[in-house]
Every structure is written in C-alpha cells, then in structure tokens.
Amino acid sequence: MDDTQRWIVTVEPSADLADLSQRLQSQGCAVEHALEELGMLVGVCSQTMADSIAALPEVKDVSPEISTSIDPPDLDDAP
C-alpha cells in the first residue's frame, strides 16, 4: 500500500486501548505505539482505513502525524 501514512488515533477515556489496538492490527493497520496515559494509538495505514477508524464509536479523532523542524537560533547569523 503506497498511500499509507502515520496516524494519531485519540480515543474516549473509557475505551479499551489494547482491544482497539488488536482490532486495528487484525484489519491491517500497523499499530506502532499505544500511549495509554494519553489515550492514543500511533499507527500506519491508508486514508481509507483511517476514515473507517474515525467512524468507530470509541474514537474521538484521527489525525495525520506531521513533522516539523526548528532551525537553530543562530542560523541567520551564519556566514
């Protein structure tokens, strides 16, 4: 699947994160991290699967992971 990307899944506080993780993996989502304290899963899947995950009742939000970088403060002073 070439159209895969990393997603952040935020769930309801009452959700069983371990159960959801297993269900997503059985459907083909590569769950990389379960952040129990935050109620989040991080996984890799397609946009279509992310849309399906977002429709689950225990899921509050599904957002793509974004990367940012911050230049060093003295970068503008470089010769």
| Tens of pLDDT, residues 17-54 | 999 999 999 999 999 999 999 999 999 999 999 999 99
Higher pLDDT, 71 or 62: 62
Quick one: pLDDT at residue 69? 87
Q: What is the pTM of this model?
A: 0.81
Mean pLDDT, the chain, integer: 91
Higher pLDDT, 46 or 69: 46
Check pLDDT > 70 for residue 4: yes
Q: How confident is the model at residue 68 (pLDDT cuts 50, 70, 90)?
A: confident
Check pLDDT > 60 for residue 78: no
CA distances from 72 to 2, 66, 79 (A): 34, 20, 14
Q: What are phi and psi of 46, to 5 degrees?
A: -80, 165
- Say how far apart CA 68 and CA 65 lie, in whole Å: 10
Q: Any idea which architecture 5-66 has in CATH?
A: 2-Layer Sandwich (3.30)
